[in-house]
Structure formats: C-alpha cells, structure tokens
C-alpha cells in the first residue's frame, strides 16, 4: 500500500 | 502602522474559510506589496501559500513589515459577524500585540469592531523551488470538488494521471474502483467550463483524498482551479483570486511502500 510522503523531503526550511 | 480596507470583505472571509481547517495558528505577513501566508499543516504533508495584493484593497498602508500571529478558527468566528456586503478594515500598530477588525455596512451604517490578541508564532518559512511542471491543467473548480467528493466514497487515495488520453482520477477501496476521465474541452462558450490540459510528458501520482478535500474549501474563491504536476513532486493546486492574488496548496505524494 501507499506511504504518505512529507513536504520536508521536497522543500527546504529557510 | 498597518491599515487595510477591503470593500468586498467577503473575499478575506472566504480565504480564512479555505485554509482554517488545514492550518490553525498562522502568521499573516504584511508588507507594502501584499498580505501573505505560508504555512504547513501539523503533519508537514501540505503547505498553504496565500497572497492578496495591496491592489485588492481600497486603502492599504504598511509602514513596516509585520507578522500578525492569529488563530484562524478564532478569526473565522469573528467573520461570522460580518455581513456579506460589508467593508472590512484591518488595523494594527507596529508594536503589534493586537489586531483590530472592523466591519462597515454602508447601507445600514452600522460599524462592528473587534480586537484580537496576536500570538507569537515561530515562522518556519519553507523554500518552495520554482518548478517548470510537466503537466498543467485548468478546470472548473466545482468539477474538481465533485470528483474529490465522489471518489472519497471509493477509497482514501486518489491516483491522478495525465496522459494524452486526458486527465484521469482513480480511487480503489473495499467496495471496488472508480475512475473519472476528463478530456480537454475548450469548445463550450463559457470560459469557466473549459478544461485545458498542457502535458509535456505523462505524469501519474497518488494523493490522500482527505487533503484534496480540504483544498476544495477554496472553491468559492475561484470558478477555475489549476493543477500542476511533475513526476515524483508535490502537486500544486491553485485557486486564483481574480487578478488580486491566490490560494495555493502543495501536497506531498503518497509513494509505493
């Protein structure tokens, strides 16, 4: 089944 | 001193209603150019990016950039007391520890004013890279809302695939599978009914319907919604607010285990 990704894997904290 | 006057206060009310279930405590960042919000949900799965240009306001004064820390459910309660045709005025001193909201009804002449204590919310600003998306779809926002609502019956994950066939939404669950295929439609004379699909290369991604459903709370803001996708990247779902701004939602995809 599918695992929910996190935005932190795509967007960097400034 | 920050002061802004919006003749159609309802726009701001709809913006609050479109994000308050996703992000609770937010900073409304005020600059000379715009009011903006950038905030992730508590699970860091979705990001809200809202912008309302100073040109949307009849009067806009922002001497110094300010961050107004607010609890959106409380702001939403205050807006319940605003009449549909009221003018909204926001006001805060530079040493902002409270926000004044005023609702003026031109017809009856009544003025309601409220004072909200501001919160100190530590801002976790995210760098959202500019991306040239492989697929960009513009479609009626009511249609997107209906698709998301209908597919929630079938399961909790929606596969969105953009191919030369068109844009397909699929959901599978205990009771079975549902597919909704939309094709490009620029024939109807009503611009708002158009579906335009710009596909540079096919993309197929999976998303949690629970979040997509949250995003459709922005439907009253815009007759059209724009979906942008690239392989392996978060989807962007944008509700333009006429030429005055937008509410954008970014959602991380679900991946095969």
Q: Tens digit of pLDDT for each residue in B84-119?
A: 999 999 999 998 799 999 999 988 899 999 999 999
Q: For residue A6, give the chain B residue with the closest CA.
A: B45
**Helix, strand counts (H, E) of chain B:** 4, 20
Mutation target vs A (from B41, B45, B46, B235; most A CBs, 10 A cutoff):
B45
Q: What's the average model confidence in pLDDT over B16-26?
A: 97
CA distance A13 to B220: 31
Would you say residue B244 has pLDDT above 80? yes
By the 8 A CB rule, do B156 and A4 touch?
no
Would you say residue A13 has pLDDT above 90? no
Q: What's the average model confidence in pLDDT over B198-226?
A: 98
In this complex, do B127 and A9 lie within 8 Å of one another by their Cβ atoms? Answer: no
- Across the interface, of B47, B157, B254, the residue whose CB is closest to A5 is B254
**pLDDT band of A3, cuts 50, 70, 90:** very high
CA B196 distance to own-chain centroid: 20
Would you say residue B257 has pLDDT above 90? no
Whole-number percent of chain A with pLDDT over 70? 100
CA distance B167 to B183: 6
Q: For residue A2, give the chain B residue with the closest CA.
A: B256
Whole-number percent of chain B with pLDDT over 90? 90
Q: Tens digit of pLDDT for each residue in B27-77?
A: 999 999 999 999 999 999 999 999 999 999 999 999 999 999 999 999 999
Q: What's the average model confidence in pLDDT over A4-10?
A: 94
Q: What's the average model confidence in pLDDT over B127-142?
A: 95
Grouping H, G, I as helix, E, B as strand and the rest as coil, residue B107 is coil
Interface of A with B in 1-14 (CB under 8 A): 1-14
In this complex, do B127 and A14 lie within 8 Å of one another by their Cβ atoms? Answer: yes
Q: What is the DSSP string of B220-257?
A: GG-SEEEEEE-TTS-EEEEEEETTTEEEEEEEPPEEE-
The structure tokens listed for B151 are 């597919």
CA distance B227 to B235: 7
Q: What's the average model confidence in pLDDT over B180-193?
A: 92
Q: For residue A4, give the chain B residue with the closest CA.
A: B254
């Amino acid at each position: 089944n599918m695992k929910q990704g996190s935005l932190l894997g795509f967007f960097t904290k400034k | 001193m920050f002061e802004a006057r919006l003749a159609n206060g309802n726009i701001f009310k709809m913006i609050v209603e479109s994000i308050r279930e996703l992000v609770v405590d937010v900073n409304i960042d005020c600059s000379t150019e715009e009011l903006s919000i950038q905030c992730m949900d508590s699970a860091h799965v979705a990001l809200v990016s809202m912008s309302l240009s100073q040109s949307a306001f009849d009067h806009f004064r922002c001497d110094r950039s300010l961050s107004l820390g607010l609890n959106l459910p409380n702001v939403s309660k205050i807006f319940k007391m605003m009449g549909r045709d009221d003018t909204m005025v926001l006001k805060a001193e530079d040493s902002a520890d409270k926000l004044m909201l005023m609702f003026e009804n031109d017809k009856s002449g009544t003025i309601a004013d409220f004072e909200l204590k501001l919160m100190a919310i530590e801002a976790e600003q995210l760098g959202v890279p500019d991306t040239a998306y492989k697929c960009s779809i513009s479609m009626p926002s009511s249609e997107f809302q209906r698709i998301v609502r209908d597919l929630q019956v079938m399961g909790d994950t929606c596969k969105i695939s953009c191919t030369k066939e068109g844009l397909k939404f699929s959901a599978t669950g205990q009771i079975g599978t549902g597919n909704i295929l939309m094709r490009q439609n620029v024939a109807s004379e009503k611009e708002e009914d158009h579906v335009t699909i710009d596909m540079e290369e096919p993309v197929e991604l999976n998303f949690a319907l629970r979040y997509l459903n949250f995003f459709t709370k922005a439907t009253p803001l815009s007759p059209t919604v724009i979906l942008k996708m690239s392989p392996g990247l978060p989807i962007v779902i944008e509700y333009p607010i006429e030429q005055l701004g937008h509410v954008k939602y970014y959602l991380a995809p679900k991946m095969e285990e």
